[in-house]
Amino acid sequence: MDDSAADTAHMDRAITLAQAAAAGGEVPVGAVVVLDGAVIGEAGNAPIARNDPTAHAEVLAIRAACEQQGNYRLPGATLYVTLEPCTMCAAAIANARIARVVYGASDPKGGAVESGVRFFEQPTCHHHPEVVSGLQADISSDMLRSFFRARRK
Amino acid sequence: MDDSAADTAHMDRAITLAQAAAAGGEVPVGAVVVLDGAVIGEAGNAPIARNDPTAHAEVLAIRAACEQQGNYRLPGATLYVTLEPCTMCAAAIANARIARVVYGASDPKGGAVESGVRFFEQPTCHHHPEVVSGLQADISSDMLRSFFRARRK
């Protein structure tokens, strides 16, 4: 696979994890951490199921990857996530020293990469990952819209 | 105890947790979550020991408190922490719907309450805790200074 095909395949996996989260009543967001082409951590959003307000998909995937690596940092890793990371997750990504972030839909209300505090551009951010946005964004947006529309009924 | 004496007692506990973290080689920060006068979660900073870049004192104390409460939110709770929360932790505090944050030393390089992104004042922050700063700040600052001085030797 070339890089672009690999990116799409990993994002497809993140979308599958997001769909599984929605089936469990969680806001549909999924994340996958990849190192040297291999998945080393993945998760769907799960704050309600886990009684943990920090259990966003990105944080859970990072924790799983760190446990697998036996390291509190993930140099060289790429994180794929279906939605623009929030402020907590953007800062967790920086703390983990993740090299590259690929996300799907933008999140003007809660995001912190191109939206909100734009954390990676701030002087209090001490690590600056490469960022790719918009991959499979329509699929991620549609999932979120369907989820919230169904809950308002 | 009046409120002020209770605040000092809880911060003293957070300082003890920070000292224990330093003894284990972690940056000395400690945190305690209190609800209705009772401690429901507490932790020292532990990213290295736990292989978890999200294992800051605040996040661990919030996770412990949520597990104890069986809830992914902590309405009415107060979080005591020896150092100004970083961006990740400030956002985790907002996600947890913590009512009140009491911290010790300010952190111009990494903080996100009075420093950096000042997250609680941002439009992408959807919960705004009451904030008290500077409680036992000298003790917390001295701990941090001693820790980093010893590591530079």
Tell me the chain B residues in contact with residue A113 when contact means C-beta distances shorter than 8 Å. none
pTM: 0.97
CA distance A106 to B66: 29
* Nearest-by-Cβ selection for B66 from A52, A72, A74: A52
CA distance B144 to B60: 19
pLDDT classification of B1: cutoffs 50, 70, 90: low
Element (H, E) at A104: strand A100-105
Mean pLDDT, rounded, for B82-87: 98
**pLDDT tens digit sequence for B14-29:** 999 999 999 999 999 9
CB contact under 8 A, A92 and B47: no
Q: Which residues contact A137 (CB under 8 A, 6 or more apart)?
A: A104, A105, A106
CA distance B86 to B81: 11
Q: Strands B38-44, B30-35: parallel, antiparallel or unpaired by DSSP?
A: antiparallel
pLDDT the model gives residue A152: 81
Whether residue B130 has pLDDT greater than 90? yes
CB contact under 8 A, A47 and B95: yes
Gap from A6 CA to chain B (nearest CA, Å): 26
Q: A148 burial class (0-12, 13-18, 19+ CB within 10 angstroms)?
A: exposed
Reference A79, options A46, A104, A110; nearest CA is A104
Please, what is the Cα angle at B33 between B27 and B35, to 5 degrees? 170
* Nearest-by-Cβ selection for A91 from B69, B70, B86: B86
**ipTM score here?**
0.96
CB contact under 8 A, A91 and B96: no
Whether residue B143 has pLDDT greater than 90? yes
Gap from A128 CA to chain B (nearest CA, Å): 14
CB contact under 8 A, A51 and B62: no
CB contact under 8 A, A47 and B86: no
Whether residue B56 has pLDDT greater than 80? yes
Q: Which residues contact A9 (CB under 8 A, 6 or more apart)?
A: A1
Token pair listed for A33: 């951490």
Give percent above pLDDT 90 in chain A.
95
CA distance B153 to B149: 7
Given the residues A58, A67, A84, A121, the one annotated as active site: A58
**pLDDT tens digit sequence for A32-91:** 999 999 999 999 999 999 999 999 999 999 999 999 999 999 999 999 999 999 999 999
* Nearest-by-Cβ selection for B112 from A48, A116, A124: A124
CA distance A122 to A128: 9
pLDDT classification of B47: cutoffs 50, 70, 90: very high
